[in-house]
Amino acid sequence: MKSRQLGPLTVSEIGYGTMSFSGTYGASPERSEAIRVIRGANERGVTHFDTAEAYGPFTNEELVGEALSPVRDQVTIATKFGWNIDPETGERRPGLNSKPAHVKRAVDGMLKRLKVETIDLLYQHRVDPEVPIEDVAGAVKELIAAGKVKHFGLSEAAAQTIRRAHAVQPVAAVQSEYSLWTRDPEPEILPLCEELGIGFVPWSPLGAGFLTGKVDPGASHEAGDFRATSPRFTPEAKAANQALVDLLRRVAEAKEATAAQIALAWLLARKPFIVPIPGTRKLERVEENLGAAQVVLTADDMDEIEAAASAIPVEGDRLPAAVLQFSYR
């Protein structure tokens, strides 16, 4: 696996998002199986792993901490604060909370759960409109000075917010949803990252599995799977959006690859500072995803994909309204 610069961090060019082990896509596998898959990803070259206190809450950080403790010196671990979660009990409360005192308490819990002395990359999960971003950046700056955090990141933040935060504490990475069917970061976020030397991490780079071509357009999703309530996964939206999967499959056939590999290779080819974090609960899918690094998309290939994709209108909002309201502030 080749490396890329994610801001100041050197990481594998494809990382691994671990959220799916916390019930987001329905029932989670046994803990021993989850650890086997996470460790298997590292054995296959992944060095960048992503989690958050909100996944569970807390259980995902504990899982990642246990899985990666034997290889702690070989990996970078990113986690996130920002939702209104009690740092001691894990009780979810309405809304967001990025008050500096709360952030510092949250980080103390993260360090214990992740079994680390310092967090490699700490993101604000969503921008809290009640707390000036300068105050949030200042709190993380103090955590860095204290040796509890190495680098600061922002998730789903607006361009101006990123710039303001960066003026207080350099932002190492920005994380937002980005894929062939979610291209919101292109007009402002990616150019800003390029200008400021900030890495960019696309979450859900495979469109919550849809872009792999393995989601049956006519099938319903089980209870507990967030896609059951996602506007982009209604039967009508899936039928309309199938054209994107067909496009990926056509390119994949020509490249002797899979649709998932083309979707990831497309992201890798967009900018050299992009490090996608596909998530999966199956080791064979980890292997498939990592195969994307071997797929070469030429400038002509990228132009062909762009021309075809621009003629396909994407149906449905990318997230339910209750979640989408917290993005790009």
Catalytic positions, written as ranges: 55
DSSP states of 127-164 as a string? --TTS-HHHHHHHHHHHHHTTSEEEEEEES--HHHHHH
User: Are the CB atoms for 109 and 58 separated by under 8 Å?
Assistant: yes
The residue among 182, 233, 226 whose CA lies nearest residue 204 is 182
CA 316 – CA 238 distance, rounded (Å): 9
Q: Which residues of 210-232 are buried (b: 16+ CB within 10 A; e: fewer)?
A: bbbbebeeeeebeeebbbeebeb
Query: Which DSSP category does 64 fall into?
Result: H
Answer whether 248's CB lies under 8 Å from 179's CB: no
Q: Are strands 76-81 and 171-177 parallel, antiparallel or unpaired?
A: unpaired
